[in-house]
Amino acid sequence: MPGLLLETLRGSSAKPRPVWLMRQAGRYLPEYRALRAEKGGFLALVYDTDAAAEITLQPLRRFGLDGAILFSDILIVPYAMGQNLEFLAGEGPRLSPRLVDTALAALSPVPERLSPIYETVAKVRAQLGPDKTLLGFAGSPWTVATYMVAGEGSRDQHETRGHAYRDPGAFQAIIDAIVAVTVEYLCGQIAAGAEAVQLFDSWAGSLAPAEFERWVIAPNAAIVTALKARYPQVPVIGFPKGAGEKLVAYARETGVDALGLDETIDPCWAHAVLPQGLPVQGNLDPLLLLYGGGASGGELDRQVHRILDAFADRPHVFNLGHGIGKETPIAHVEHLLSTVRQWRG
């Protein structure tokens, strides 16, 4: 019997709603901070497969969530494609050499950098109950490309959007290369025990409509097609953050099995315009969870119910609209989970 989360991603509307939280393994948890301090940096944790498996399981031990998401990062793909990767304290990730001034062909791929991740997946699956779903993930090609081209995160992806306009052929080659490695990487995660996978497109919102078609929809559709050819039973969750009204085309054209919604999306609008029966995931504002819904907590409960009620007639996985903030009090998470679990529509 698959768990509630996997059933929902496959189209069941069972209640109570399954729930997990993006970035649920991380710095808001004292047990994560303790292990991180012991092992050194973030990458050291990712490549210590026992530690990575333990971190993946930490939020389930504490909260009994319905899904575990592999502890890794979307930038492992560029790392395997041959870029150097560093996480600088307080500054975020750095990739070098940057593809804004270095040709893709100058990189020497290091595919062995993917194998330890599969080992983590297998270690987690071995410790996870049958009613819990193990989620694998990768970044979507556009979002991964923004880091590969600029070498770091940037406010409006200016350098990468510019690169794509100046030299669409070279940029297409970067996207195609990311698609190929991502397919291999996700197939490796599935073979090791991931039961569903999520594609994170954190910067999908910065593209104009024609560019959204070319750099978001087309590569995600290519990934979904390749995964379905090998693993037709494994649901793919697409999460094009900031896509707004372009979500409708994304849902129709990519072939994803479920759609992640960010907090800017009105759930009533989404329910009205998205294909009937398409599972959705989301979309509480992580900032509202951080602040606990104001002095009385009332606003948090109201928003949680608004989301649950809007999606009462379609498969729905409760989640945040983006990653949980590192200052979020544990008590707020506990309160949220009990509210979601009590709801029966």
Looking at the DSSP assignment, which residues form a beta bridge with residue 85? Answer: 95
| Interface positions, 210-269, toward ligand CP3 (CB under 6 A) | none
Instruction: Identify residue 65 by its one-letter amino acid code.
Output: L
Answer yes or no: 344 catalytic: no
Q: What is the DSSP letter of 325?
A: P
CB of 41 to ligand CP3, least distance (A): 8
Residues in CB range of 66: below 8 A, 6 or more apart? 3, 4, 5, 18, 19, 20, 131, 132, 133, 317
* Binding status of residue 153 toward ligand CP3 by CB under 6 A: yes
Report the C-alpha gap between 170 and 282 in whole angstroms.
35
Catalytic residue flag (residue 23): yes
Beta bridge partners of 135: 69, 196
Establish whether 302 is a catalytic residue.
no
Q: Is 92 in the site for ligand CP3 (CB under 6 A)?
A: yes
| Given 160, 202, 281, 283, the residue binding ligand CP3 (CB under 6 A) | 202
Name which of residues 5 to 34 contact ligand CP3 (CB under 6 A): 22-27
Active site residue 266: no
Q: What is the DSSP string of 73-116?
A: -TTHHHHHTT-EEEEETTTEEEEES-TTTS-GGG----GGGTHH
Question: Is residue 157 a contact point for ligand CP3 (CB under 6 A)?
Answer: no
CB contact burial 175-194 (16+ within 10 A = b; e otherwise)? bebbbebbbebbbbbbebbb
74 binds ligand CP3 (CB under 6 A): yes
Known active-site residue 147: yes
Question: By rule CB under 6 A, what count of residues binds ligand CP3?
Answer: 23
Which span (65-73, 117-125, 206-214, 300-308) binds ligand CP3, by CB under 6 A? 65-73
**Residue 12 known to bind ligand:** no
Question: Both tokens of residue 252?
Answer: 């129709």
Is 108 marked as binding a ligand? no
Give the active site residues: 23, 27, 36, 73, 147
Binding residues for ligand CP3, per CB under 6 A? 22-27, 36, 42, 69, 71-75, 87, 92-93, 137, 139, 153, 200, 202, 323
